[in-house]
Amino acid sequence: SAATSKSDFASFSDEEWKSRLTKEQYYITRQKGTERAFTGSKTKFDSGTGWPSYYEPVENNVKSKLDLSIIFMPRQEVLCAVCDAHLGHVFDDGPLPTGKRYCINSASLKLKTQ
């Protein structure tokens, strides 16, 4: 099939996402779920949490917004800049050079060799 452009992802219906993603990927990226720890780049580091952690995102492909879904635990949610898929959260306890820890669900990643 032909490659899908970034603008196409922004207009996918819920049913189209369900047909393209596994149940786990849909739960995490479209329903803001979190996978279990230990299930799955050069900015990656071992945060000791069990989730893939990075000190910076890839280019300008993500955005963040305040997540108040857990009472008394405000945090910054990390979303795809194109389709608003939930990727994980970013915290201010990461290593240099950024001091950030992008805690990302591995089911929301598609890793490619360079």
| Closest listed residue to residue 41, CA positions, set 66, 63, 61 | 61
Residue 79 lies in a domain: yes
List the structure tokens of 78: 């990390």
Domain containing residue 58: 6-108
pLDDT in tens, 6-62: 658 888 899 999 999 989 889 888 998 877 665 557 777 889 888 889 898 877 889
Residue 114 in any domain: the answer is no
Q: Is residue 99 part of a domain?
A: yes
User: Hey, what are 17's tokens?
Assistant: 């996402």
- Give the SS3 label for residue 44: strand
3-state secondary structure of 17: helix
Total structural domains in the chain? Answer: 1
Catalytic-labelled residue, pool 103, 104, 107, 108: 103
Share of the chain above pLDDT 90, in %: 39
1 or 12, higher pLDDT = 12
**Does 80 participate in catalysis according to the annotation?**
no
The torsion angle over the Cα atoms of residues 43, 47, 50 and 54, rounded to 10 degrees, is: -20
pLDDT at 98 (0 to 100): 93
The verdict on residue 113 lying in a domain is: no
Domain of 67: which CATH number? Answer: 2.170.150.20
pLDDT at position 101 is 94
Q: pTM of this prediction?
A: 0.69
